[in-house]
Amino acid sequence: MTETELHEPSARPGAAPPAEEVAGPAPVFVIRPAARWPHLDISELWHYRELLGTFVWRDVVVRYKQTFLGVAWALLVPVFTAVIYVVIFGRFAKFPSGNLPYPILVFSGLLPMQYFTSALTGSSTSLIQNINLVTKVYFPRVLLPLSAAMVPIVDFVLGLSVLLVMMFWYETWPNGLALLLAPAFIGLAFVTALGIGFFLSAVNVRYRDVPYVIPVFMSVLPFVSGVPYAVAEIPEHWQWILSLNPMTSVISGWRWAVLGANAPVPGQVAVGVAVAVVLFLGGLAFFRSSEPRFADTI
Amino acid sequence: MPAAIVAEGLSKRYRIGELQASYGTLRESITRGVKHLAGREHYHHRQEIWALDDVSFAVDEGEVLGVIGRNGAGKSTLLRVLTRITSPTRGRAEIRGRVGSLLEVGTGFHPELTGRENIYLNGSILGMKRREIRGRLDEIVEFSGIETFLDTPVKRYSSGMYVRLAFSVAAHLEPQILLVDEVLAVGDAEFQRRCLGRMEDFSLSGRTVLFVSHNMQAITQLCDRAILLEGGRVALDGPSQRVVARYLQEHAGTGSERSWPELADAPGDAQVRLRSVRVVDEDGDVVESADIRQPVGIELAFSVLTEGPPIVPKVKLVDEQGQVAFNAIDTDARWHEPTAPGDYTATAWIPGNLLSEGLTLVDVAIVELGTVRFHHHAGVAEAVSFHVQDPGEGDSARGLFLGQWKGVVRPLLSWDTERD
């Protein structure tokens, strides 16, 4: 700002306000005790959309700075994991792979799984990772888990290139128009991870046990989500039990849409979606109701 | 003029437990819960304190309000409530206008990111739009003076460079209302001077500022009005010089006036007793705060009971650090003779442009003077105190300089400069 701009208002009292204030009346913030069940203020989130972008940008940039292999890690991690799965579960244990070659079955399952793991872990620890922001400046706290769940999408998209190469190699092709539903299944993973992330990040503000608990569940999750096998190949009552886990629908749906695997049972997907919606709404409500105390307890 | 900030009965309760152990583990909570169920332990963490207790005030548009108080008086909590970082337990506040808050410089700076990247990150966190940041990038960089290191990660910066960059982002915020906390406490004298200058520019441009600080000099220079918080309550709300003076006096345990109505209890001996000591202005009114440019009087009232050896009233002025500014006695010839019994009032006039800014403590005494030694008949250390403040209008010894200006005394000298 220049000196003239600075002193103008005082030099001409009562003069027209500066241009940026003409747009509307001055915003009025009312500060009052927190409501017991605060609603989600969508218009406020819209107002802060640039900050959401900034958080995502920051985490993506920081992630690859000062790593020797940088972006290559986004490819190497799922590839290494897939090789281990293929050797142990494909060669030795001979898990059922349905109508897909086993390596591509595993890799196509690992991609959304690793996205989910990163999104869930990132959003669960997002508040304490940004403790200096939470205690020093206001913004809707929802932005932190939200951006943390968006960041690993970059890794996921990079990983798709490997999947594409494998698709050429094994000559497996998408199931026509079903491909259009592929993003919806990733969206289901996003919603589920974010819902649990909302809940765990709020718990983590108070109890720092969360980061120790998550890996335990994450090491089991691939096996109850159908990563090393085709869900359609296991006994049906087990399929229904596994469908309570939204990631089962994510992985079987994703394989169906992108690789032309056997279609998931619609009823099972519906169960998965319902669970995800409940997790999301419950997590969000818990997050919002504990939000007023974050800065005091963190 | 409409009020920019109105606070009505703001209160904030903390549980002591929340303050002491900022986080616990699940195990602690569970064991506590189990013990509680078993009736073995009471919820002693349920102790509560009110960090803010029914705080009400209003700040007009364009006004600069200072908030002072001891540590734990509720200043930071007030700021955290007004900036919506935490919500009040009771009461409400209304803020009209775009709010910018600065609770520290460099909020959210990431060490791995470069200077340029951190400008965007920090600016965005402080509420600037990316477009605004881009528009002001050159100014921000120039103001910070780190052009050469703009694309170096800030983890390689010296702490001085880091603070300069962080501050210059903050300085280019343009909210209508600015809430600032102790930002001036960091950095060197030069940096603090720039902060103050920027804040003054900001207030001159007619914007509203709420400024929390321990720097009393900054408060009196920048703020028209101040509130003093004590134990979460507003103890005093008024012109900043008065509020600052009161705060410093309370801290020092002295006021501007002291009297001893009962002769028997008054300090002194069989010959002379002090009756009262007052700090007065030229109109004879008691003042807590004196403009550095104006004379201020120390008025001693005393009773001489018997005619004894010659006595003389004396004052000693001491600054906040305990350094003696000077001693002074009345050198009038009348004091060479014994003083007749009766009541006397003597006023020592301290000229303007002599004392330094800050709190001045006054020791008073009635003494008997020999050539090399003297004898106290009546003496009171730190009898009164007053606050010297410099509005910084350019006609005092510091001119227009707003930074730290050392010295026990601060005379306004006359200078002669000739061109050879």
Burial of B200 (0-12, 13-18, 19+ CB in 10 A): middle
A295–B136: do the CB atoms touch at under 8 Å?
no
Which residues lie closer than 8 Å to B48 by C-beta, 6 or more apart? Answer: B13, B14, B15, B16
CB nearest to A50's CB, from B23, B82, B124:
B124
- pLDDT of the residue at B311: 93
pLDDT recorded at residue B28: 66
| Contact status of B382 with chain A (Cβ, < 8 Å) | no
Contacts of A136 in chain B (CB under 8 A): 85, 103-104, 107-108
Site from A59, A136, A201 to mutate, B interface, most B CB atoms within 10 angstroms: A136
The single-letter DSSP state of residue B254 is: -
CB B60 within 8 A of CB B25: no
Looking at chain A, list the stretches that DSSP marks H as alpha helix, in order from N- to C-terminal side: 3-11, 19-22, 42-47, 49-64, 73-85, 102-124, 126-129, 131-134, 143-150, 153-170, 182-206, 210-224, 236-242, 246-259, 266-290, 294-297
Contact by Cβ (8 Å): A55, A143? yes
Using CA atoms, how far apart are residues B180 and B230, in angstroms rounded to an integer? 19
Q: Say if residue A221's pLDDT is above 80.
A: yes
**Residues forming beta bridges with residue B315, ordered by sequence position:** B328, B364
Amino acid at B174: E
Q: For residue B106, give both structure tokens.
A: 């460099």
Instruction: Say if CB B153 and CB B112 are below 8 A apart.
Output: yes
Is the CA virtual torsion A137, A143, A148, A151 positive or negative?
negative
Cβ-defined contact of A295 to B24 (cutoff 8 Å) = no
Contact of B22 with chain A, judged by CB distance below 8 Å, is answered with yes
Query: In degrees, to the nearest 5, what angle opens at C-alpha A235 toward C-alphas A231 and A238?
Result: 75
> Which B residues, 304 through 333, put their C-beta within 8 Å of a C-beta on chain A?
none
- In this complex, the residue of A8, A26, A207 whose CB is nearest that of residue B96 is A26
**B83 interaction partners in chain A (CB closer than 8 Å):** 137-138
CB contact under 8 A, B124 and A21: no
| Per-position pLDDT tens, chain B of length 420 | 578 999 999 999 887 654 444 445 666 666 666 666 665 555 555 678 899 999 999 999 889 999 999 888 899 899 999 988 888 999 999 998 888 888 877 888 999 899 999 999 999 998 888 899 999 999 999 888 888 999 999 999 988 888 888 888 888 888 888 888 876 666 666 777 777 777 778 878 888 999 898 888 788 888 889 999 999 999 999 998 889 888 988 888 888 999 999 988 899 999 999 999 999 999 999 999 999 999 999 999 999 999 888 999 999 999 887 889 999 999 998 998 899 999 999 999 999 999 998 899 999 999 998 778 888 899 999 999 999 988 888 889 888 877 778 888 999 999 999 998
**In this predicted model, what pLDDT tens digit does every residue of A116-142 receive, in sequence order?**
999 999 999 999 999 989 998 889 999
Shortest CA distance from B89: residue in chain A:
A33
Consecutive H or E run containing B360 = strand B358-369
Residue of chain B whose Cα is closest to the Cα of A131: B108
User: Could A50 and B130 be called an inter-chain contact, meaning their C-beta atoms sit closer than 8 Å?
Assistant: yes
Q: How far is B225 from chain A (nearest CA, A)?
A: 18
Tell whether B156 lies on the interface with A, counting CB pairs under 8 A: no
Question: Quick one: average pLDDT of A1-10?
Answer: 34
pLDDT of residue B18: 47
Write b or e for each residue in B105-124: b if 16 or more Cβ atoms lie within 10 A of its Cβ, otherwise e: bbbbbbebbbbbbbbbbbbb
Question: What pLDDT is attached to residue A22?
Answer: 38
Min Cα distance A249 → chain B (Å) is 32
Say if B30 is an interface residue toward chain A (CB within 8 Å): no
The span from the CA of B164 to the CA of B337, in Å, is 64
User: Residue A67 has what pLDDT?
Assistant: 73
pLDDT value of residue A9: 35
**Residue A37 pLDDT greater than 90, yes or no:** no
Average pLDDT over residues A270-278: 96
- pLDDT at residue A212 tops 70: yes
pLDDT confidence of residue B93: 93
Q: Whose CA is closest to A142, among A294, A19, A39, A288?
A: A288
The sign of the torsion formed by the CA atoms of B216, B222, B225, B228 equals negative
Question: Closest partner residue to A137 among B23, B107, B110, by Cβ?
Answer: B107
Residue A115 one-letter amino acid: Y
Amino acid at residue number A43: S
For residue A30, give the nearest of B22, B92, B121 by CB distance. Answer: B92
Q: Has residue A2 got a pLDDT over 50?
A: no
- Using a CB-CB cut-off of 8 Å, the residues of chain A touching B93 are 30-32
Distance of alpha carbon A207 from alpha carbon A189, whole angstroms: 25
CB contact under 8 A, A207 and B29: yes
| B92 reaches A (C-beta below 8 A) | yes
Cβ–Cβ below 8 Å for B104 and A136:
yes
- Contact at CB, A65 and B112, closer than 8 angstroms: yes
Say if the Cβ atoms of A31 and B112 lie within 8 Å: no
Q: What is the pLDDT of residues A192-207, one digit of tens each?
A: 999 999 999 999 998 8
Please compute the mean of the pLDDT values over residues A64-92 and round it to a whole number: 84
- The angle, 0 to 180 degrees and rounded to 10, between the axes of the packed helices A153-170 and A73-85 is 50
Note the pLDDT of residue A275: 97
Asked if B87's CB is within 8 angstroms of A34's CB, the reply is: yes
Which pLDDT belongs to residue B36?
60
Where residue B391 falls (left for φ over 0; alpha for ψ -120 to 50; beta otherwise) is alpha
According to DSSP, residue B24 is labeled: B
Phi, psi for residue B348 in degrees, rounded to 5: -95, 120
Smallest Cα–Cα separation from B212: which of B171, B172, B184, B242?
A: B184
Over the stretch A17-35, which tens digit does the pLDDT of each residue have?
333 443 456 678 888 888 7
Question: Is the CB of residue B325 less than 8 Å from the CB of residue B381?
Answer: no
B116 touches chain A (CB under 8 A): no
Shortest distance between the Cα of B89 and any Cα of chain A, in A, equals: 5
B204 touching A (Cβ < 8 Å): yes
Task: Inspect the interface and report whether the beta carbons of B90 and A33 lie closer than 8 Å.
Answer: yes
The predicted model gives A214-237 an average pLDDT of 89
Contact A137 B125 (CB under 8 A): yes
Tell me how far apart the alpha carbons of residues B91 and A138 are, in angstroms, rounded to a whole number.
Answer: 19
Average pLDDT of chain A, as a whole number:
85
Nearest CA in chain B to A1: B172
pLDDT at residue B172 in the model: 85
- Give contacts of A26 with chain B, Cβ < 8 Å: 96-98, 176
Residue B20 near chain A (CB below 8 Å): no
Question: Which tokens belong to B355?
Answer: 């004392």
Q: Are B105 and B140 in contact (CB under 8 A)?
A: no
